[in-house]
Chain A
């Protein structure tokens, strides 16, 4: 049956409802595009008989459905990739990058740039990084545990803290947010 491959692409994404990005399914896309080419060429055969018109319409519907499924698949992936910028920051983990095709990486880079330009334009000189402050601030200082060696870390009043693996510190929240998201520190909720 026509359009089966296209629907399979949609199902693949539907199965990963938590926003994960599966590997780019180049094979399936190529197959759907080939099917579209075949359908189109069949429709081009000259000498149209009145009896064939329903067939031609049917093939056209399949073509539209394939186009719609492919674009939906690609667009949904873009939305997941967009979410990655907000979760992981500007640098994506290599495991995720392997799941993206070259054009998706290009889209991601362009998106990063647009976002950075926009954030820099906010307010005064340096702009505002709106990818920070994702949660309402609950307390001024938080207990954090260091997950990896990160070296020295200076806080506002000048004291320097040595972030060694497994050390625990009581630090200002706003200083730690970035490091928590990068996975260097872990918020300890006792």
Chain B
């Protein structure tokens, strides 16, 4: 992947100079690596993770540059096919990432909206503005539907539903596979059975584990571990 992307770097050489003037100086290879990490984390995490709009925007820009460059390459050149595949692969990863997020937003919509409403100003956002709008529309749409079809025909004291109680929350206790990127010490693990007691583990860099998501959730957010 790195080899082919340095070829892509060839194609987007002109653009790279412009990009360096901008704030984040990520090479295309680094950008795509970050996208893949975000994609895997989002796929395997039971809850919606932090929103990465900047990453999405950069990747879209990158894709556009690559498409433009591809137009200029001589048709039938072998290089063109390889680059075409590259564009398709990146687009697949990006689409899959956004789909994972949308699915989780739809599945847990009242909780996602509640979390976003009650977060403090400085805290990172879980939803992009567009995702937030989508979630609100989804909630409104569903409420209107349920009222129109059934709730308004019910007895007066039963005409509303508490969405927060009706829709299940994400199961943070599900097990996830993870690889450790930065060494962690003294991670507290809850007992599984009554006979066990809680104990402490150190996570060595490069090691792989299977643990409950709840234990390592903050480490996923900080980038110290990667879900696999």
Which positions 54-70 of chain A face chain B at CB distance < 8 Å? 63-64, 67, 70
Provide the residues of chain B in CB contact with A51, threshold 8 Å. none
A133 beta carbon closer than 8 Å to chain B: yes
Q: Tally chain A residues at the interface, Cβ within 8 Å.
A: 42
The reply on A98 being an interface residue by CB < 8 A is no
Residue contact B75 to A114, C-beta cutoff 8 Å: no
Contact A132 to B95, CB < 8 A, known contacts A33-B154, A71-B166, A114-B134: yes
Q: Which residues of B contact A (CB under 8 A)?
A: 56-57, 59-61, 63-64, 75-76, 81, 84-85, 88-89, 91-92, 94-96, 98-99, 102, 106, 130-131, 133-134, 137-138, 141-142, 144-146, 148-151, 153-155, 158, 161, 166
Instruction: With A111-B138, A133-B95 as known contacts, state yes or no: A121 contacts B154, CB within 8 Å.
Output: no
Q: What residues of A have a CB within 8 angstroms of the CB of B91 in the complex?
A: 128, 133
Name 17 A/B residue pairs within 8 A (Cβ), A-sorted. Answer: A33-B150, A33-B154, A37-B155, A63-B155, A63-B158, A71-B161, A101-B149, A104-B145, A107-B141, A114-B138, A121-B130, A122-B98, A130-B95, A133-B88, A137-B92, A140-B81, A140-B85
Nearest Cβ distance between residue B93 and chain A, in whole angstroms? 8
Q: Distance in Å from the Cβ of A127 to the closest Cβ of chain B?
A: 9
CA distance in complex: A40, B76 (Å): 75
Chain A residues whose CB sits within 8 angstroms of the CB of B61 once the complex forms: 123-124
Contact B88 A74 (CB under 8 A): no
Contact yes or no, A36 B57, CB < 8 A: no
In the complex, are the beta carbons of A123 and B56 less than 8 A apart? Answer: yes
Residues of A within 8 A of B102 (CB): 118, 130
Q: Given the complex, which residues of B lie within 8 Å of A64, measured CB to CB?
A: 158
* A130 proximity list for chain B (CB < 8 A): 95, 98-99, 102
Contacts of A157 in B (CB 8 A): 75-76
Cβ of A103 and Cβ of B155 under 8 Å apart? Answer: no
A115 to chain B: which residues have CB within 8 Å?
Answer: 134
* CB proximity to B under 8 Å, residues A80-95: 82
Q: How far apart are B109's CB and chain A's nearest CB, in angstroms? A: 11
